[in-house]
Structure 1
């Protein structure tokens, strides 16, 4: 009684088998996400869609070879991005990811950036229906940018997409025969021929009324993409098609947003816990039964509930800026290169040593402790600049640098957790998830101390797979709802 699960993140593509009988995750495989296609514009982040499809299908086929009698395929992917295919499911654009910010380019004919022009066309009231913050890395903005450039007669060639795929921007002008796909929907279309996507992946495109669970025609018209063929939105988790493989016809389930799968797999209590996730980037979230707009994004969850969520928080990539600097010093000045794991281990040890030193008061210089502003990436939440200040002749040391950076990150999470607390009942516990925070005890302790409430680790790693396992248990008919699966998984893991 095993299912195959695919998790397509920003850094890794992973596969595993979900054993619904023994409540186990087995046969895990992981490969790195390919590099984005080369582009002179730093705002553009595109991936070869055909290459991604081959990698995803390769993971599935290798898992099927060792999973006799496979009950089905579950898919979870990164959100916000999109691919346009022809009527046969062949990609005619690269995969445009959530990291793409081409909408920030200035457009002479619009008198503003593409992003600002679209937000003005949509209007605040309509955009609020999406549940999203105004941000450039969503499909609605990328599509608007493409269509505006096509209308201007600009012909942009995409390199590296493959000879089997048309690459001219002019192809976008013939929209009637083209299909909009989420990343997971693109894989489902290739496996089954079905043009569908799950609600949790449709909503992050910025083209959906999150309360109605439908494509928002007003926003679609504002973008100008109404001639596209839109996928059918699936709200539940019923089978959407079959993959006719050499191992037989394998049921395929809808693509689940990696955020929702991660929250589900954290096994946090739905009423009074906040989930703090830190991977490449960071977010905090909680579950709510109410449709309540506030100072957060409101994302669809399962069984009619929502996830008030604060996104674009500092994460692993912020700390990586400092790590790369230290690595460069070691390599260029001393001719020494350490593995990434060894370098992190030593830096965290130095940060801990520095923190202990400051606690004694011995490390307090006349200028006080070093201060690191970690906003090294644009438009992060409450992290709008990158700088190191409060430097004097005594306090600029490696350990103090990293301790100060992590304490700044902890303060940012503290402020945003207070905001999230107003979205429901009082938050009584924090559950940590995500690869970066799981490996960083210093940062976990700093956040817990700043907030002043109990904080625990998610009981299992690979929370996306555990979230998909909970869905598989319901699909198998063993439980009536995902809520019922929490206690049984907690008992199995602990």
Structure 2
């Protein structure tokens, strides 16, 4: 058996699979995000560890005893700053934190080679600008930093005592030479750091440590190997078999991500397309990243007084696709692709006397879909074909939303059985590769397709004017966002 642990933003998920890839057991534990100031988004690293322990110990004892390897997945970009005693110096600054927008311009000026080496624009969500912000605003904390870890790698340190990060996660820091799959001394120096403050860079299917004896005893396991693992999107891709050139997925989690595996590094920073290492050797990937996706559904459910996501979907369906004029801009935490704008915020447009909670619910589903369509557009403009997407994440549970998404994106959506556990599944498969060997093609196979949603031409035509209005809205509201 192999255990995958996904340290997400809203919770930790633990999944155990057998050697054939079937899910044997699952455990979860919730997390919360703290927003003490506008643009800020933080979590206590200790909460990750407590949730990890809770999720693992929720697994049946006999299953835990059978685990032969562990893999880790996790939310990317989070700045976890450790002092000389390896304890956090402050709360971790998360991927959807927007405070460091001024430092992004500073980093671009200090490191003119950034786009070529890191293959990405400087964005507030990435790790490097966060460290410049800390240097400017919390100099005593910055001076005490001895190690910078990403969220899942802080959990790895607690589990194994090892400081290591896989290259798919490390690529999201802006300190990695993405083509060479190793730290860049020049980019580190641009933020006042050195290689000595970084974890060891490994591939996702490498063994990166061994479970400590005291943790193994507490969890009822042996001292098993712990694999490098992956950033949540790369691990999710491994979990659903997106492991060869041209394979693509749509992840509908807190954020929305369109992920395409590539056989070579294919950068397009001008359109805010992400280009990172995959969690498997000799592979890279492109991503269009949208900071608010399924989280908009939960937010809107609270707004209209719905009991939860299922009720919101039902109320939206009663309104129907494209039947109202309302537009929703899903920029609750700013936006990455294609705007790279940490300060823009969401909103409703074109409300009238006939607007109902049901039509607002439908507008939210459409607005997220239109934002994702922007991502598909810029991926295609960068030369990447996007014709079919495997769908994973919590938002994948709604078939009705799938009809709206397929029509807005004009792509075929393949919903996968068990796709909602993608990152944890991928982490478990990386553990299997680390312990038993084999090839990604043999181990990281796609799960069965539950159903396929093809674009309905009538819905495509009905949504086309609203999609055009959505695209026109951003440049009109952006000057007023700050």
SS where residue 89 of structure 1 aligns?
coil
CA distance in 2, matches of 1:346, 1:69: 39
Query: Is it true that 1:31 corresponds to 2:29 in the alignment?
Result: yes
Please give the per-residue CA displacement for 1:362-381, whole angstroms capped at 9, x wherever unaligned: xxxxxx73333333432354
| TM-score w.r.t. length of structure 1 | 0.79
Please give the per-residue CA displacement for 1:154-196, whole angstroms capped at 9, x wherever unaligned: xxxxxxxxxxxxxxxx253244xx2222222222222222221
Q: Counterpart in 2 of 1:147?
A: 135
CA distance in 2, matches of 1:241, 1:380: 34
Query: Is it true that 1:47 corresponds to 2:39 in the alignment?
Result: no
Residues 320-335 of structure 1 mapped to structure 2, 5 A cutoff: 320-327=298-305
SS where residue 102 of structure 1 aligns?
coil
Give unpaired runs (5+ residues) of structure 1: 105-112, 152-169, 328-337, 359-367
Question: 1:268, 1:458 within 8 Å by CA — same for their partners in 2?
Answer: no
Q: CA deviation at 1:82?
A: 2.3
Residues 109-188 of structure 1 mapped to structure 2, 5 A cutoff: 113-123=102-112, 125-151=113-139, 170-175=140-145, 178-188=146-156
Q: CA deviation at 1:430?
A: 1.8
Displaced runs of 4 or more, over 6 A? 491-494
Q: CA deviation at 1:345?
A: 3.4
Query: Is it true that 1:252 corresponds to 2:229 in the alignment?
Result: no
Q: Counterpart in 2 of 1:279?
A: 253
SS where residue 100 of structure 2 aligns?
helix
CA distance in 2, matches of 1:140, 1:206: 6
Q: CA deviation at 1:64?
A: 8.5
Per mean C-alpha deviation after superposition, the further-off stretch among 128-137 and 207-216 is 128-137
- Number of aligned pairs? 435
- Whose relative contact order is higher, 1 or 2, with alpha carbons under 8 Å and at least 6 apart? 2
Question: 1:286, 1:309 within 8 Å by CA — same for their partners in 2?
Answer: yes
Query: Is it true that 1:311 corresponds to 2:271 in the alignment?
Result: no
Please give the per-residue CA displacement for 1:253-294, whole angstroms capped at 9, x wherever unaligned: 224211101112223473444311111111111111122212
Q: Counterpart in 2 of 1:109?
A: none
Question: 1:410, 1:446 within 8 Å by CA — same for their partners in 2?
Answer: yes
CA distance in 1, matches of 2:282, 2:208: 20
Q: Counterpart in 2 of 1:11?
A: 10
Q: 1:197 to 1:397 in 2, by over 3 A?
A: same
Question: 1:75, 1:255 within 8 Å by CA — same for their partners in 2?
Answer: yes
Query: Is it true that 1:206 corresponds to 2:174 in the alignment?
Result: yes
SS where residue 52 of structure 1 aligns?
helix
Question: 1:45, 1:99 within 8 Å by CA — same for their partners in 2?
Answer: yes
| Higher gyration radius (CA) | 1
Question: 2:257, 2:289 within 8 Å by CA — same for their partners in 1?
Answer: yes
Residues 73-472 of structure 1 mapped to structure 2, 5 A cutoff: 73-104=70-101, 113-123=102-112, 125-151=113-139, 170-175=140-145, 178-226=146-194, 229-243=197-211, 244=213, 245-246=216-217, 247-268=221-242, 270-294=244-268, 295=271, 296-301=273-278, 302-312=280-290, 314-327=292-305, 339-340=307-308, 344-355=309-320, 358=323, 369-381=325-337, 384=344, 386-393=346-353, 395-423=354-382, 426-436=385-395, 438-461=396-419, 462-472=421-431
SS where residue 129 of structure 1 aligns?
helix
CA distance in 1, matches of 2:128, 2:245: 32
Give unpaired runs (5+ residues) of structure 2: 452-482
